[in-house]
Amino acid sequence: MIAVYKTYLKNLGDRNRTYAVCRCSFCSSIFERSYSDVSKTKSCGCQKNKIMDTRVTDNNLYSTHRSMINRCHSKKSNNYVNYGARGISVCDRWAGPDGLENFTRDMGPKSEASLTLDRINNDGNYEPGNCRWAARSIQSVNKRSSGKIKSKGVWFRSGKFVSSIKLNGNPIYIGRFKTEREASNAYLAKRKEIYGF
């Protein structure tokens, strides 16, 4: 495995490219890779001739950053309904052209690969000051609960039941509720309002 410590823009003459400074977990050496190659990199090279059976679970923040942008700003994302549709967005500093670099600089590396990006104020945006690395156990609680939900249009998210409905293919956020029943009733009322049944 490797850990990404930081990323930076490297000037290659005609263009800039994102590079990552990594630490090899086999021999502890520090090395650099083009950021786009990080997910394929398993070691600094010291393991080249050995059979690798380790999954690459590193501090690669690329995918964390990417999915954060997608669930807030892409209606195609399955999670959009819980984020973008609720008005949650990624700040310009993190969503802009140097967003990945700024995000990596502001958040710092994960101390453990299993940590997930968490917002301190659940109704706040993804921005410096409102984000931290949190243990996945918080999320698995959410997942456990969502497995039991039977009502259509209802999700369990961050301790609350969230309802949403699709209109012309776009998810419409209805609200967050304490109980599944309340969320389901809100969904049914909204469905009647929109579709008449």
Residues that bind Zn ion (CB under 5 A): 24, 26-27, 43-44, 46
Residue with tokens 């299993």: 114
CB of 59 to Zn ion, least distance (A): 16
Q: Are strands 154-157 and 160-167 parallel, antiparallel or unpaired?
A: antiparallel
Question: Smallest distance, Å, CB 8 to Zn ion?
Answer: 21
Instruction: Give the DSSP H or E segment for 93.
Output: helix 92-95
Q: Which two tokens stand for residue 106?
A: 């502001």
Q: Are the C-beta atoms of 155 and 82 separated by less than 8 Å?
A: yes
- The helix (H) or strand (E) run that includes residue 31 is strand 30-34
Minimum gap (Å) between residue 2 Cβ and Zn ion: 8
Q: How far is the CB of 31 from Zn ion (least distance, A)?
A: 8
Name which of 44 and 183 has its Cβ closer to Zn ion.
44
**Minimal distance in Å, beta carbon 51 to Zn ion?**
15
Parallel/antiparallel/unpaired status of strands 2-11 and 170-177? unpaired
Give whichever of 47 and 142 is closer to Zn ion, judged by the CB atom.
47
Q: Distance between CA atoms of 174 and 159, rounded to whole angstroms? A: 16
Rounded Cα distance between 83 and 170, Å, is 13
Pairing mode, strands 116-119 and 30-34:
unpaired
The least distance separating Zn ion from the CB of residue 26, rounded to whole angstroms, comes to: 4
DSSP single-letter state for residue 84: G
